[in-house]
Amino acid sequence: MSNEPSGVACVRPRCNGKGIIGPRGRCTVCGHPPERQRETRGDRPPPHDRWEAPIDRTRPPSVANDSASGPPPVISDERVPPDDWRCEGCGHSLGAAAVADGRCPGCGHPLSPAPTTLALRTDDLVEGRYRILGRMARGGQGWIYAAKDERSGIWVVLKGLLDTGDTQARIAAERERVFLTAVEHPDIVRIRDFVTHNGAEYIVMDYVRGDSLEKMRRDQNGRLDPADATRHVQQLLPALRYLHERGLVYCDLKPENVMVRSDAITLIDLGGARRADDLVSPYLSTPGFRAPEIDDAHASGGTGSAPRAYPSVASDIYAVGRTLAVLLLGTGWGLTGEHRHSLPARDEHQVFRDHESLHRLLLRATEQDPAARFTDIAELEHEVLGVTHEILARQGSRRKIDRALPPPLSRRFTPMPYLTGEDDDPPPDAILPSPQVDPDDPAAAALAAIPADGDPSTIARMLAELTPMTAEVQLRRVRFELDAGRPGKARDLLEEVARDGGARGGLNDPSRPAGWRVDWYRGLVALAEGKPADAAEPFDRVFSAVPGELAPRLALAVTYERAGDHDRAAEYYDVVSVADRSAIGAAFGLARCRSKPTDRIAAYARVPETSRFHPEARARMVESLVTSLTAELDTSTPRDRSMELAEERLDRACRLLRNGEREMTAPRRLGLRLRIFRVASALLAAGALPATGTVLGHPCDPDSLRLAVEKTLLELASHTEDRRTRVRLVDEANRIRRWTWY
């Protein structure tokens, strides 16, 4: 039920008292809600404290201080310069000949009013209410004017609407206006009215203060920081999702139409928004941001053999991708030329070389085929969130800031397994998460009741008898056949699923949620069969389909490591371990792929102290430090620098061991102590370590270190169960013992 008063007359100028406010809170003639004074969101003063009391949105906020915030900035010269002569139909520049002819040479749109003059001038009063202050800027449909609502005292914006001489289109446009006036979202500018002046129609919107994303981009040398760019796009997506859920499409998204103020954004200029099912009224979109299916129809005027395309959810998603690309790259990369319907290659721009997931996100959002783009804003929103988190985490790592940002909860994969992927663990592919069950699958509830930690063979037999035999059931059978050690059976099942994909939920359709799942299992089967080269391609397709997810990167890292390409494996392990500290397998994998001891130490340092694998990571850091010290003996660095490096690394190894000894088993602890004493003795003998200080409580001199090695060997022998090993350790201790005659 509406809270608006019903049964009262509508006082809007275009109704003249003919309509009344119905039970739904809208006029029965014009479809508008009743007029009331309400502060524009854009003129609200910025908060002084982020912990303000929540705003009561059930009451109209006060507008007493609205004028105190100052009028909008306007252009003082009312003469329109020739450079600003543009067609209101297609937005292209016009020459003097076109103006004299009265029609745009590009689209044939009538130039009325003439683009060389202003339709509204300072101090004009529109419909007895809106006093024109002046022109603010040029939009795609003409000039945008600042005005003051003399009834409420607030500042508003008037923008011309597209002309249409078609009766059916005009009826559709009038119907859309009813929907647009009902739009109420904190991140979308409020539409107050639709008015007519001297035969021209205008939309009246709140004036929103702040800077547009386009101005922010220009002020920052033409490009935003990637984290800022993705964050701003992430902030505007809920507003677009709100419109789409109500059957509206925005049509003309671009940086100029997004205002930023403090930590909030506002989507402005709803004049081009329309019903998604409107196939008759004209629409406006900007070249460079216009989807190819619309651009082709726009250029041909719908006269080709193919049915004319109109703005849609898919075209809005395309515009989101192009908007983000402009924020990242500027406009000098062929936005309306070479790359009008494409993106530059990854190696052409540093931001894409640094952030592969960002490039893949843009590629999918701007696919030529609308069906291959993200299915809706909610899906895009999830991927942008993942990419933004990754960028922030990696920037924090580079700046040596410990930003232990928790990754966003994946909607597609289970949490990362807490395994290292080492030889004493299950095989490396066991560190990979599993795809979550599609909640829309008819068998989702039945699958949720099956224990994931049961015997794989038993569960595979249970699934084979489950009905209905849906896509998710088939894919789960593949997974448990793999867990049971039967990759051949898993491959046969997967081929059956792929052949029957259309009947089982669109498994061969990349735009369907299950489409990437088949590729995921193809990669797992190839890994299980020992064919990592065959696994790379399907995992790469999964990465392109869900670029904000970390699981495909971890899968590619495992694949390349098994294929012997340690450099590429390290790239993906690096991204995953930085973005998700809980991905223990990525940190251990990164260490395995690094050849330098210092790089391995840095990789093990990423294992959180709260992890049960932290003691093992600490022990491996000690081993790597000892290895680097041993290598120091063979280097040709100057003696003073060599001693400095030796002292620093030896001291760090001792600190790490002392801090973690209680969490280690006796053999592990004693083995590390033995290595430290031995390398300290070797460095001391080579003159690479000063004979000062202590090593794990023992004086740093030859006799003391020799005694420490002897005692550690004997203690280690006492904890060794294997007799031959014990005898060997005792013999070694006896060999280094300093013999005396008493």
| DSSP 8-state class, residue 113 | S
Q: How many of the other CB atoms lie within 10 Å of CB of 210? A: 17
**DSSP bridge pairs for 135:** 75, 145
What is the distance between the alpha carbons of residues 690 and 706, in angstroms, rounded to a whole number? 16
What is the distance between the alpha carbons of residues 357 and 135, in angstroms, rounded to a whole number? 42
CB 478 within 8 A of CB 472: no
What is the distance between the alpha carbons of residues 438 and 347, in angstroms, rounded to a whole number? 35
What is the distance between the alpha carbons of residues 38 and 664, in angstroms, rounded to a whole number? 67
CB 225 within 8 A of CB 358: no
Q: Which two tokens stand for residue 439?
A: 């909640």
Q: Which two tokens stand for residue 68?
A: 């105190």
Q: Can 429 be counted among the known catalytic residues?
A: no
Q: How many of the other CB atoms lie within 10 Å of CB of 394? A: 19
CB 142 within 8 A of CB 117: no
Nearest residue to 273 (alpha-carbon basis) of 145, 401, 383, 141: 141
Main-chain phi, psi angles of 517, to 5 degrees: -65, -40
Element (H or E) spanning 87, and its range? Answer: none
Contacts of 473 (CB under 8 A, 6+ apart): 441, 443, 446, 447, 463, 466
**DSSP bridge pairs for 249:** 274
CB 154 within 8 A of CB 66: yes
In the chain the first and final C-alpha atoms are separated, in Å, by 103
Start-end of H helices in 102-138:
none
What is the distance between the alpha carbons of residues 65 and 155, in angstroms, rounded to a whole number? 12
What is the distance between the alpha carbons of residues 259 and 188, in angstroms, rounded to a whole number? 10
Rg of the chain in Å (alpha carbons): 34
- 293 CB-contact burial (10 Å; exposed 0-12 / middle 13-18 / buried 19+): buried
Question: Angle at Cα 526 formed by Cα 520 and Cα 532, nearest 5°?
Answer: 105
Q: Which two tokens stand for residue 626?
A: 């000892």
CB 443 within 8 A of CB 466: yes
Q: Starting from the edge strand earliest in sequence, which strands make up the sheet with 264-267, in order?
A: 211-212, 258-261, 264-267
What is the distance between the alpha carbons of residues 227 and 232, in angstroms, rounded to a whole number? 9
What is the distance between the alpha carbons of residues 557 and 564, in angstroms, rounded to a whole number? 11
What is the distance between the alpha carbons of residues 155 and 276, in angstroms, rounded to a whole number? 31
- Which of 228, 252, 269, 278 is an active site residue? 252
Nearest residue to 199 (alpha-carbon basis) of 281, 109, 127, 284: 127
Main-chain phi, psi angles of 110, to 5 degrees: -65, 135
- Residues in the chain, how many? 742
Main-chain phi, psi angles of 184, to 5 degrees: -135, 100
- 653 CB-contact burial (10 Å; exposed 0-12 / middle 13-18 / buried 19+): buried
Main-chain phi, psi angles of 355, to 5 degrees: -130, 85
- 390 CB-contact burial (10 Å; exposed 0-12 / middle 13-18 / buried 19+): buried
Q: Which two tokens stand for residue 396?
A: 């924090």
Contacts of 710 (CB under 8 A, 6+ apart): 733, 736, 737
What is the distance between the alpha carbons of residues 431 and 577, in angstroms, rounded to a whole number? 13
Active site residues: 252
